[in-house]
Amino acid sequence: MSSTAVSERGTAPRPAAFITGAAGGIGRAVALEFARTHNLVVTDRDPAGLLSTQHQASLLGAQTVHRSADVTDENALRELLAEARTVFGPVTNVVACAGIAPGGTVETTSLDDWHRVLAVNLTGTFVTARVSISSLRETRGSFIAIASDAGTFGAQDLAAYVASKHGVVGLVKSLALDFGAEGIRSNAICPGFVETPMMRQIFDESPAGTEEYYRNAVPTGRFAKPGEIAKIARHLTESNYANGITYAVDGGSTAGYYRAPHTS
């Protein structure tokens, strides 16, 4: 059962940003970045996390319309945007953040897990774009998908995730070509590891030493903070000529082979 709610403040003359996966991690950071200037339309499968995002956004002056739903549920997302439209008008910025990253090779990933990863990461991004296009056409707005460095680069033991994120990068390029002439700009952000619950889960399920191995592969010597990805989302939103970009934000880890100075 999903629920929709509107926070209790007067209508403000702000544009509206629609963010999926907004209950935590990168999605919440993106929501709070936009809360400084926009009203919010947020969704996630985690209702408690959404309420917390709403509360934090209200402290930044944003009104929020929120609904807990699975990102693959087209009807739920359409209803959310329809309700938000009555309060804010059509959304101007969309950021698709919802995602999952269970590990596994082709041999160790079950068919059910494969379908689920493709459904949430790739179909979820498709559904988010599909329900948003008519609003973005009206506002000549921006669509951003949080893909991954795994959208341009392979990663061991993450076969379904890598495949889904390569799909997201391809989908965003199609959006850029199909809707650019109507003023809708579509771009993909490809972060390396970002300090969120997803990253923690990946390393907790990996062999000892995996986290250190990946940190040593980042020339800047550390993983990203969620707010650093949110700043790139704002930057792309405000960059009127950016369309069809695959924007790596990974501390240089996909720039080439790298050996940290202190490693042998």
Ligand X SMILES: NC(=O)c1ccc[n+]([C@@H]2O[C@H](COP(=O)([O-])OP(=O)(O)OC[C@H]3O[C@@H](n4cnc5c(N)ncnc54)[C@H](O)[C@@H]3O)[C@@H](O)[C@H]2O)c1
Query: 192: which residues sit within 8 A by CB, 6+ positions away?
Result: 149, 218, 223, 224, 248, 249, 250, 251, 253, 254
Closer CB to ligand X, residue 160 or residue 176? 160
Burial 60-89 (b: 16+ CB within 10 A, else e): eebbbbbbbbbbbbeebbebbbebbbeebb
> What are residue 105's phi and psi, to 5 degrees?
-90, 180
CB 151 within 8 A of CB 172: no
Rounded-to-integer distance, Cα 128 and Cα 2, Å: 17
CB 189 within 8 A of CB 229: yes
The binder of ligand X chosen from 32, 98, 131, 175 (CB under 6 A): 98
The binder of ligand X chosen from 99, 103, 141, 167 (CB under 6 A): 99
Helices marked H in the chain:
25-35, 47-59, 74-88, 111-117, 124-139, 159-179, 197-204, 210-216, 226-238
- 259: exposed, middle or buried (C-beta count within 10 Å: 0-12, 13-18, 19+)? exposed
CB 39 within 8 A of CB 12: yes
The binder of ligand X chosen from 76, 158, 199, 230 (CB under 6 A): 199
Whether 247 is catalytic is no
Closer CB to ligand X, residue 14 or residue 160? 160
| Structure letter (DSSP) for residue 109 | S
Of the candidates 161, 213, 241, 247, the residue annotated as catalytic is: 161
Which positions from 23 to 52 touch ligand X by CB under 6 A, shown as an x/- string?
xxxxx----------------xxx--x---
Q: Which part of the chain contacts ligand X (CB under 6 A), choosing from 97-105, 133-141, 178-186, 237-245?
A: 97-105
Nearest distance, CB of residue 264 and ligand X, angstroms: 26
Closer CB to ligand X, residue 141 or residue 191? 191
Q: Does 90 bind ligand X (CB under 6 A)?
A: no
CA-CA-CA-CA torsion for 97, 68, 29, 32, nearest 10 degrees?
130
Nearest distance, CB of residue 50 and ligand X, angstroms: 8
Nearest distance, CB of residue 98 and ligand X, angstroms: 4
Which positions from 110 to 129 touch ligand X by CB under 6 A, shown as an x/- string?
----------x---------
- Contacts (CB under 6 A) with ligand X, residues 118-177: 120, 146, 148
Q: What is the CA radius of gyration of the chain?
A: 18
The binder of ligand X chosen from 18, 88, 193, 247 (CB under 6 A): 193
Closer CB to ligand X, residue 37 or residue 152? 152
Nearest distance, CB of residue 12 and ligand X, angstroms: 26
Q: Which residues bind ligand X (CB under 6 A)?
A: 21, 23-27, 44-46, 49, 70-71, 97-101, 120, 146, 148, 191, 193-194, 196-199
Residues annotated as part of the active site: 161
